Structure 1
Amino acid sequence: MKRKTYWGYGVATIADAAPYSFVTVYSIVFFTTVAGLSAETAGMISAVTIILNGIAEMSLGYVSDNWNSKYGRRRPFLIFAVVPLGVGLIALFTDFGWDETLKVAVYIGAGFLFWIGFGAYYTPYSALGAEIAPGYNERSVLRTCARVFGIMGNILGMVLPLAMVELLAGLGMSDRGAWFSVALLIAVVACGSILITWNSTRGMEKPPVEDKTKPKAGLVQLLRDYIQILRLRPFIFLIIVIFAFVAANTFYSSNMVFFARYKLGLGDQVTSTIFLISMIVNAICTPLLGWAAIKIEKKNALALALLVSGIGAIVFRFLDVSSYLGLIAYACVFSIAYAAFWQLFNAVLYDISEVGEFVMGKRVEGSVISVYGIAFSLSMSISSKVLGSMLEWGGYNGALAEQSAHAVTTIENAFMLVPAAALILAAIFQFLYPLNKGRFELLERALHNKRKGLSYDTTGLDRIIRK
């Protein structure tokens, strides 16, 4: 692959990192402190919109696998995604000033629109990466380049919002106007990055293979394909990793602002600095993780990073973090897992495409990413609802400048203990994941012969191919 191919593809990762970070980190903060909703209601809105997205996204990968146009299978969806992603994101951070019932309905609609746009971009975009980088190590390099833009997106969507809101408020703008302006900026940058990648990846897709024996596309075939993908042995391990990491990240990122405010009494500008330091750690980790992915294999590098962060989270909870420096240290430790997942997990996931083709007899990159997206959405929905309920039960009240001791303890546990348990679980199953480089190369040889109608040997593939 040419270097410009890696970078041309990778730039759209901004549209993954910036909107995703902004929504997952700040939506509950915005709903409770600006829109005036309870934590329970805010968690419910997040849960409902995400699960609705998961249902809608169910078809996106399958449709892109079976799409046939002169513009390609995946790239047309990038154009389609721009409007709903941008409009939905802006609406999610607009305080309409209506009564609570109407607000809830509007935010659910806005969230659904946003996640539809996000899924319509992310699923085909990720599947496109599996196509243009077919090699085991090439995929690690591709995701390393994409991660560079991901860090830029994280800075925009995670680090800068609080500082920008504070700056705009200092210039005389209302809180509602400041949040709207930040959402507008992020939407414009994210959608612009998608358009750049759409233009940069012209002609890079593999042409669809005409197969007259292929079953007709439809709902029944979609369900059959997804059931087969879920039964692929390596994918079962990855499903558990997805659920566990998403739970850890949701609890960590959504509680960062609350922990800094109510446990340590820090201002929002200081919290932004902590997020910035986290992104610096991400940047440092990026080349190290890229190197580790080649030296000890990407699956092992990811598992080790998850384990280190999980153990670190337990240590920090029992040390009782009560200082700014302590919070920075914990954020740095968690950032190791965060950087590793977003850099390496898709590279690991891409390899399921070859397993799927061997078992199912067709390329299913889009369907694999779509099933991943469904699992991701389901985990995020459940985590958001549990978090909202946990804060409510713990006595959290967004209208109060100070929280009760019980509420602060609840925030601490949600910020550290829950992520710790989830990360350790994810690390265990990532270590157990059976598809390594050696087995992937054996699979490639068997798949090459199978495509040509030649005899092939499955010796050594018993752990990844169900007989």
Structure 2
Amino acid sequence: WGRRRPFILGVAVPFGIITWLLFTDFGFSPGWTKVYFIVVVLLYFTIYTLLDIPYTALSAEMTTDYDERTGLITYRAVFCQVASILGAALPLAMVEQLTSLFGDRKFAWSAMTAGLGLLCVFPILWTWRATRGCELFPEKTSSRPRDIIDHVFKNRTFRYTAAVYVLSNMGLSVAGAVMVYFMKYYMGYTENMQSVAFAVLFACTILWIPFINRISSRHGKRWAFIVSIGLWALVQAVGAMVVRPEWTVFFYAMVVLASGGIIAVTMTGWSMIPDMVEVDEFKTGRRREGLYFGVISFSRKIAVALSVWLVGIALSAVGYVPDAPQSEGALFGIRAMYAWGTAVFLVLSMAAAYLLPMTRERHEALKRAIALKNEGKPWDEGSIRDIL
């Protein structure tokens, strides 16, 4: 059964049900409707966490090879991006079709998510079945809350990796939040034109995946991250400030180039995290993938929430007025947030990646040291001192 797979099996059906409940209005009074949706949202994210952390932690257990982990995340990224494209396009189309058939938009939303909720149960169950026997390590381990302070945050390599992942996700969140305002008020795009831009963005991320995977295989994960994020930061910092509303081709060129950095956040970020587990194993003799992925997941949620909150404050500060023509100052503020607000976080994440001590060679040396230590034989700590 393993340590992770029972969670994946256990939440498959509840995840489908709670997805349906999240978009279903049972006609309660306004007060009880608020209570209902607060409870459902809390349950949704609880179940999502119970699925997400074991699922992502499996990548550290299924293989200990530095490059295989990148390959594993590459496959995951492809399916994730395809699902993102379908998830962005299908639901609204399904709602419109169901509304025209039944004449009730609330029912259409409920029926649509009931279908998608049922559909998502089967890939979760398939993941549970397909990973049977893939957990390579003993099922019993233990962790205490104080281990987060005593071991996780004292893990030097993890601190740099967490900085890379959190800062890049903050840049991604700022870009995603402000891009809608940038396209609507500065570029003058309608909702349909915005949908096309997002579709192109998601589609192009798939095209970048082999390129990023190749850089990672040749030069390591951190250089794949630095190159991809560096290109995105340059596009944001310069392109978003010089583009004009009539420069449609230029804007879409920006979207294509930026998509490489966006997928790099997912690909290289998630493939770096498993390598931290071996550092902890060398120090403590225990493998605690779930502890590290749990801390990363929680840190990401805080970072994303903070980013969106800061965007809201910044929009108010520059004089943004919802659904109205914007002043020159507000338009400049929106452009600056989209350009420089994103780029600042991306550049900081690149700096953290450059300082990241983990490399392919050090990871291999670390695995050899763990094997020798477990056999009671002497090992050379000199080659791994920087990552400890």
TM-score, with structure 1 as normaliser: 0.74
For the aligned residue pairs, the C-alpha RMSD in angstroms reads: 2.9
Q: Counterpart in 2 of 1:275?
A: 198
Deviation (angstroms), 1:427: 1.1
Deviation (angstroms), 1:444: 1.0
Kindly tell me: are residues 125 and 390 of structure 1, through their superposed partners in 2, closer, same or farther at Cα, counting changes over 3 Å? same
Matches within 5 A, 1:13-32: none
Kindly tell me: are residues 103 and 271 of structure 1, through their superposed partners in 2, closer, same or farther at Cα, counting changes over 3 Å? farther
SS of 1:231's equivalent in the other structure is coil
Q: Aligned partners of 1:412 and 1:96: how far apart in 2?
A: 42
2:55 to 121, 125, 136: 125
Q: Aligned partners of 2:344 and 2:368: how far apart in 1?
A: 39
Is 1:353 matched with 2:283?
no
Deviation (angstroms), 1:331: 2.2
1:413 to 336, 339, 362: 336
Q: Counterpart in 1 of 2:42?
A: 112
Is 1:371 matched with 2:295?
yes
Kindly tell me: are residues 294 and 155 of structure 1, through their superposed partners in 2, closer, same or farther at Cα, counting changes over 3 Å? same
Q: Counterpart in 2 of 1:332?
A: 256
Is 1:448 matched with 2:371?
yes
Deviation (angstroms), 1:438: 1.0
Q: Counterpart in 2 of 1:145?
A: 75
What do residues 262-313 of structure 1 show as CA deviations (whole Å, max 9, x unaligned)?
Answer: 3333232322221221122211111111111111111210122111111210
Is 1:389 matched with 2:319?
no
Kindly tell me: are residues 401 and 326 of structure 1, through their superposed partners in 2, closer, same or farther at Cα, counting changes over 3 Å? farther
1:192 to 101, 122, 126: 122
Contact 1:255 1:415 in 2 (8 A): yes
Deviation (angstroms), 1:383: 1.6
Is 1:230 matched with 2:153?
yes
Matches within 5 A, 1:62-73: 71-73=1-3
Is 1:343 matched with 2:272?
no
Q: Counterpart in 2 of 1:25?
A: none
Partner amino acid for 2:123?
Answer: S
SS of 1:222's equivalent in the other structure is coil
**Structure 2 segments unaligned to the other structure (5+ residues):** none
What do residues 52-80 of structure 1 show as CA deviations (whole Å, max 9, x unaligned)?
Answer: xxxxxxxxxxxxxxxxxxx2210111123
More divergent stretch after superposition (450-459 vs 94-103)? 94-103
Partner amino acid for 1:230?
Answer: F
Q: Aligned partners of 1:91 and 1:334: how far apart in 2?
A: 35
Q: Counterpart in 2 of 1:262?
A: 185
1:318 to 237, 241, 244: 241
Deviation (angstroms), 1:326: 3.9
Partner amino acid for 1:200?
Answer: A
Contact 1:234 1:435 in 2 (8 A): yes
What do residues 230-279 of structure 1 show as CA deviations (whole Å, max 9, x unaligned)?
Answer: 11111111121222112112122233333333333323232222122112
Kindly tell me: are residues 195 and 312 of structure 1, through their superposed partners in 2, closer, same or farther at Cα, counting changes over 3 Å? same
Partner amino acid for 1:385?
Answer: W
More divergent stretch after superposition (73-82 vs 161-170)? 161-170
Q: Aligned partners of 2:65 and 2:235: how far apart in 1?
A: 34
Partner amino acid for 2:147?
Answer: R
Q: Counterpart in 1 of 2:164?
A: 241
What do residues 171-221 of structure 1 show as CA deviations (whole Å, max 9, x unaligned)?
Answer: 7866655655554454344333212111211222235266xxx7xx46xx2
